[in-house]
Amino acid sequence: MITNVGLLGYGTVGAGVAKIISLEDSLLSQKVGWSLKLARATVRDLDAPRAFPPPPGLLTTDPRDVVGNPDIQVVVEAMGGIEPARTLILKALESGQNVVTANKALLAIHGVEIFAKAKECRREIFFEAAVAGAIPVIRTLKEGLAANRILSVFGILNGTTNYILTRMTQDASSFQDALFEAQSHGYAEADPTADVEGFDAAHKLIILTALAHGVLPSLKDIQVEGITKLDAKDFDFAGELGFTIKLLAVSARNPEDGLLEVRLHPAMIPQGHLLAGVSGVLNAVVIRGHASGDIFLSGAGAGMMATASAVVGDIIEIARLSHSAPAVGKPSLGWQSLTSERIKSPTEIYTRYYLRFTVHDRPGVLAAISGVFSAHNISIAQVIQKGVDPTGSVSLVILTHLAAEKDLQMALSETQKLGVLTAETKLIRVEDFARY
Ligand code: NAP
Ligand code: HSE
């Protein structure tokens, strides 16, 4: 017996999938019980160089050679972008084909429609590679931890930004230098906006939220802040305070009010926390289930073979399912239906804060700022003042206790009127994992 696989896209991910299916035939046959075979692969440019050369006749520019082709049982969407990927996936499902996709942007934006179509057509759609590359986080949430109420998921979901933050931590590199280095190693795209502004990780966070809580929030409902405003100075202070700075994805149910917090922003985390040790391009997640306790997963979040590992794992699972029983259109996210639920707005969130004011070094400045904080019910945990520059400005670092973002923002805007600040104030949230 043979399962025929059709690829939409033969770039980084598609070529990796082709390489595993072509070179690991006997291994995969042992696992599935029959052969996986690459049937066709759709590309734009038949003559472009390929990381794994395709056999003659595999490539085509016509997606109809893959989608709706009755000889192909599994369609792998590895082209990226929204269209034509969305339309092709819907057509494949309607044609009775099962689908594997690595496209987190598409699932985050059109997931409701695509998962509903899979259910309606009684087909499978698998997407392990869409979040955290090789790490089996989707399967862990959907199956391994199915018995749990998921209390929280914390993650480092973008390799490019984690690489940049690691360089800024270890070598005091500036953001621009670290970004340049990430680009020269091929980690960051020529246009790195989706990575450094947090959108790539936010798409992954939306998918994780659907798996963990049965709610697929839209991008506009969640707090997204990238890493472009981080300054080398704050990495020094973070180290001194016992923290590491990470771009942290959080999807957690607040135990006090029962509401969901879904946010992605730079965060100071204790140096001893598992996520603090996740360096370079690695990704990681910590999932807390009510029965399981904490589960930590870490590994390669991107790259040709790491991503293909997840895609081919999905193909194998579909091949096993569809030959052992007819496809039943199992709920793709592990929930019979998605619910809609209000996500806490950024102003409703409580965290601790690291604030770095740049101020005139003169008497009364600290008293003025702490007076504003006190008026807004913000309690100060620690203060550091350091390093007068030639203009007479000094860094004044304040670490707060737990405070409401709404109060903090009001206090910050009042400090601007005190006439003591000489530069923009830097704010980084301090994460307290134990609260969830
Ligand atoms: P890529 O290297 O740019 O490859 C895209 C492939 O799709 C190319 O072969 C391209 O053809 C083909 N393609 C694009 N638009 C097409 C169209 N309209 N018609 C026909 N073919 C089209 O992208 P990638 O890095 O493999 O990423 C693919 C997907 O996987 C994306 O959704 C991405 O977010 C996701 N992903 C990637 C990684 C990673 O490490 N790269 C990790 C996790 C998830 P040509 O080659 O002819 O241009
Ligand atoms: N651009 C992503 C990252 C890889 O840097 O992690 C694909 O998800």
At residue 184, the pLDDT reads: 87
**DSSP code, position 54:** P
SS (H, E, C) 251-292: EEECCCCCCEEEEEEEEEEECCCHHHHCCCCEEEEEEEECCC
Q: Is residue 111 part of a domain?
A: yes
pLDDT level of residue 323 (50, 70, 90 thresholds):
low
Query: Structure pTM?
Result: 0.96
For residue 252, tell me if it sits in a domain. Answer: yes
Could you give the number of structural domains in the chain?
3
pLDDT of residue 329 exceeding 90: no
Q: Is the CB of 307 under 6 A from ligand 2?
A: no
- Do 20 and 32 share a structural domain? yes
Instruction: Classify residue 328: in a domain, yes or no.
Output: no
Of 300, 331, 364, the residue that ends a domain is 300
Half-sphere exposure of 280 (CA within 13 A, CB side): 7
Pocket test for ligand 2, best of 195, 208, 307 (most atoms within 8 A of CB): 195
Query: What is the rounded distance in angstroms from the CA atom of residue 296 to the CA atom of residue 330?
Result: 27
Residue 390's pLDDT band (boundaries 50, 70, 90)? confident
Residues 281, 370, single domain; the answer is no
Q: Based on the domain organization, do 295 and 414 belong to the same domain?
A: no
Among 309-323, 329-343, 412-426, which range has the highest average pLDDT? 412-426
User: Given this model, what pLDDT does residue 327 score?
Assistant: 56
CATH code: domain of residue 159: 3.30.360.10
User: Residue 286 carries which side chain, given as an amino acid letter?
Assistant: V
Residue 73 lies in a domain: yes
pLDDT at 324: 62
CATH code of residue 116 = 3.40.50.720
Q: Are both 293 and 367 inside the same structural domain?
A: no
Residue (of 184, 160, 183) closest to 283 by Cα position: 160
- C-alpha distances in angstroms, 61 versus 32, 42, 306? 30, 5, 26
Mutation choice for ligand 1 from 46, 77, 79, CB with most ligand atoms inside 8 A: 79
Residue 336 lies in a domain: no
User: Does 162 sit in the ligand 2 pocket, CB within 6 Å?
Assistant: no
Same domain, 146 and 285: yes
Considering the domain architecture, whether residues 280 and 397 belong to the same structural domain is answered as no
Are 178 and 219 contained in the same domain?
yes
**Annotated catalytic, 204?**
yes
Question: Do 155 and 278 reside in the same domain of the chain?
Answer: yes
Is residue 13 lining ligand 1, measured as CB closer than 6 Å? yes
Those residues with Cβ within 8 angstroms of residue 257's Cβ, 6 or more apart along the chain or in another chain:
none
Whether residue 148 sits in one domain with residue 16 = no
DSSP state of 275: G
**Together in a domain, 51 and 144:** no
Domain extent at residue 239: 138-300
Average pLDDT on 228-248 reads 96
* CATH classification at residue 398: 3.30.70.260
Alpha carbon of 194 to ligand 1 centroid (Å):
15
Tokens of 10: 């033969």
| Two structure tokens written together for 79 | 């082209």
Q: Is 155 in the pocket of ligand 2 (CB under 6 A)?
A: no
Domain assignment present for 340: no
What pLDDT score was predicted for residue 381? Answer: 96
| Domain presence at residue 280 | yes
In a domain, residue 330? The reply is no
pLDDT of residue 325: 59
Question: How far is residue 222's CA from residue 158's CA, in Å, rounded to a whole number?
Answer: 17
Regarding whether 23 and 147 lie in a shared domain, the answer is: no
Amino acid at the residue 120: E
- Strands of the sheet containing 74-77, edge to edge, are 59-60, 35-42, 2-8, 74-77, 98-101, 125-126
Domain boundary among 268, 300, 332: 300
Residue 326 in this model has a pLDDT that exceeds 60: no
Q: Do 107 and 147 fall into the same domain?
A: no
Q: Evaluate: CB of 103 within 6 angstroms of ligand 2.
A: no
What does DSSP say about strands 380-386 and 393-400: parallel, antiparallel, or unpaired?
Answer: antiparallel
